[in-house]
Amino acid sequence: MLVENEAKEHIRKAIRPSADFRGLEEPKEALPGSAKADMALRPFGSEKDLWLAVQVKSRSRGVYEGNRSVRWKFTNVDKYKGMVVAFVSLQGGGMRSTAVPNQTRSQPPVECPIERKPKVWTFPGSSLGPNVTITSGGPMYDKEETRCTWTRSERSGTFLGDKLLAYYEEALAAGGSSANGICLSTFAELEGQITPEKMTEMETIRWLQPLFDATGFKTFAAEDPSGPYDIVVRDTSCVNSRDVRVQVKTPSWTRVSKFRLVATANSYRRSSRNLKDVPYHVKEFDIFLVGPPRNTATLMNLQRARLQEGRSCPGPHLLTDTEWIPNHFYLFCSKDYAELRLGDCDLSDGKTSFELDFTPTALSTRSSGLTKRLPHRYDMMCASSLLQAVLYFRSAFKAVSRPA
């Protein structure tokens, strides 16, 4: 993630307006971290809601082979049709061995410093296969038309700003889609190029933002979107504090009874390592936050079916409110998660979730798993309840964020 961010900063610096370059700009509102494109660009000062999508693939440095040959390998790059793919090598330094003329075999090779100047190439996404290996001077990828430079004064390729602007103008002149497959998109289209599940997660995190704001801590997206936590919470006023890992879940309505509206939250995730479903482990996160369910249409169907059977259920008025979302959320620290056995799931036996009560006025009618979890339920619209959540969040934060 750090390498990618540094690569994007190099691109931003290159596309700034100057005396001899019009410049390119990004949208005022950044693309979400889950968006398919890493950057959205248009000519500086343009008012058209048409953006050039750029995917940035980066490496810290290339691999030297022999005296002169260098290669850069990039994988999984065939998923960006319609976009520009920019390959960046930061050339982060290091040493390489090289032979000296008339050197005997007994003499050790001379260590020469690796070139530190970053390199960049651009391609239409539709022209790429699954994997790309760029070899310095190679005839397939390291060509004059794909090799770019960071400034106009360099002569080893086309200035990156000119190249990206040309991609944009060619697509615009062709009605939004150029012959080489580059397409212009609205910001909403680029923002929406994510899975519905990811969009729901983003909505839940935004809904929980008042809680994060009240704690006084800053939130940042996790580096691995498929990892065991979604965001990290950081006390930016303390340079030595550890990041606190927060898993955010959006449950789904699953059943309605006489007194309860029940939703189910998953206690497993899809592993990015082997693409298998694995249970959450308490050592992999610090706080488990469950926002309100959002599949309101399912809840209405459950209520309607129950009423048609002549049975009562909470909140019959919800049948006419298609946008109703509960005010409540659940906050568990990793210790709570273990003590309440929320992670007790057996994928082979179909046990992959736990239930939570989201009835507006929940009742502790009997001892059950639902009742035992109610002390961890808070009301976002109730000042005193939100304050309790903030205090508990801070105590959990303090317990796990002590300096190493």
pLDDT score at 97? 46
Lowest mean pLDDT among 123-132, 133-142, 305-314, 357-366: 357-366
Taking the C-alpha atoms of residue 40 and residue 187, their distance in angstroms, rounded to an integer, is 8
pLDDT score at 378? 97
pLDDT band at 190, cuts 50/70/90? very high
pLDDT score at 269? 75
Q: What is the mean pLDDT of residues 89-98?
A: 57
Taking the C-alpha atoms of residue 12 and residue 28, their distance in angstroms, rounded to an integer, is 14
Q: What is the mean pLDDT of residues 347-360?
A: 76
113, pLDDT greater than 50:
no
253, pLDDT greater than 80:
yes
293, pLDDT greater than 90:
yes
pLDDT score at 215? 93
196-400: CATH class: alpha beta
Q: What is the pTM of this model?
A: 0.58
Q: What is the mean pLDDT of residues 320-333?
A: 88
Evaluate whether 164 touches 26 at the Cβ level (below 8 Å): no
Residue with tokens 């273990």: 338
What tokens does 327 get?
A: 């005010």
Going by C-beta distance under 8 Å and a sequence separation of 6 or more, which residues neighbour residue 113? Answer: 93, 94, 95
pLDDT score at 274? 46
158, pLDDT greater than 80:
yes
What percent of the chain has a predicted confidence (pLDDT) above 90? 46
With CA atoms as reference, report the closest residue to 67 among 95, 44, 96: 96
| 3-state SS, one letter per residue, for the chain | CHHHHHHHHHHHHHCCCECCECCEECCCCCCCCCCCCCEEEEECCCCCCCEEEEEEEEECCCEEECCCEEEEEECCCCCCCCCEEEEEECCCCCEEEECCCCCCCCCCCEEEECCCCCEEEEEEHHHCCCCEEEECCCCCCCCCCCEEECCCCCCCCEEHHHHHHHHHHHHHHCCCECCCCCEEECHHHHHCCCCHHHHHHHHHHHHCHHHHHHHCCEEEECCCCCCCCCEEEECCCCCCCCCEEEEEECCEEEEECCCCEEEEEECEEECCCCCCEEECCHHHCCEEEECCCCCHHHHHHHHHHHHHCCCCCCCHHHHHCCCCCCCEEEEEEHHHHHHCCCCCCEHHHCECEEEEECCCCCCCCCCCHHHHHHHHEEECCCHHHHHHHHHHHHHHHHHHCCCC
Q: How many CB atoms lie within 10 A of CB 30?
A: 11
Q: What is the mean pLDDT of residues 279-303?
A: 90
User: What are the domain boundaries of the chain?
Assistant: 2-191, 196-400
Q: Choose between 321 and 13: higher pLDDT.
A: 13
Q: What is the mean pLDDT of residues 230-246?
A: 86
Taking the C-alpha atoms of residue 304 and residue 301, their distance in angstroms, rounded to an integer, is 5
Provide the mean pLDDT of the chain: 84
Mean pLDDT is highest, among 58-72, 162-176, 213-227, 361-375, for 162-176
72, pLDDT greater than 90:
no
